[in-house]
Amino acid sequence: MGVTELEKPAGRWCVHFRRGRGCDAYEARPASCRVFNCTWLLTEALDESWKPTVSGFVMHADAGRLIVECDPSRPHAWRAAPYREMLELWAARGQEVLIFAGRRGLRLNPDASTRPVART
Ligand code: SF4
């Protein structure tokens, strides 16, 4: 995801990320990092299979939309069971669902079709 305070665009590693260690600026991380909680953390009904390290994507809400941010090395992770079926159900019920892998994105339509969207 993008981090405005760091001028970090979506799809690029943060300069503070250290593989195997996490954030090397944790105590001084920007406000948007401090307040962020993914949908899996906030939703008791989503079991361990939805944990980002398992699923391959992070979900979060943005202006009423559900954003699914796939690991760019696993851009089709959302298509696996049980994820696709549930995302399609939410879209069919009127939830706007956008799926991104880096800068490439899709809108999941209520009829389960998809169409490309650009990240704004
Ligand atoms: S939590 Fe740390 S590594 Fe993650 S985006 Fe924020 S500053 Fe970067």
pLDDT in tens, 78-119: 999 999 999 999 999 999 999 999 888 999 999 999 999 988
Q: Are strands 114-118 and 104-108 parallel, antiparallel or unpaired?
A: antiparallel
Calculate Rg over the CA atoms of the chain: 15
Q: How far is the CA of 33 from the centre of ligand 1 (A)?
A: 6
Q: Select from 7, 18, 33 the residue to mutate for testing ligand 1; criterion: most ligand atoms less than 8 Å from CB.
A: 33
Q: Alpha-carbon distance 23 to 57, whole Å?
A: 19
Q: Which alpha helices (H) appear in 1-120, and where do they start and end?
A: 31-35, 39-42, 52-55, 83-92
User: Predicted confidence band at 1 (pLDDT cuts at 50, 70, 90)?
Assistant: confident
Domain boundaries, the chain: 1-36, 37-118
Q: How far is the CA of 9 from the centre of ligand 1 (A)?
A: 12
Three-class DSSP category at 79: helix
Other C-beta atoms closer than 10 Å to the C-beta of 30 total 16
92: CB partners within 8 A, 6+ apart:
110, 111, 112
Q: What is the mean pLDDT of residues 10-29?
A: 93
Of 4-8, 54-58, 100-104, which gets the smallest average pLDDT? 100-104
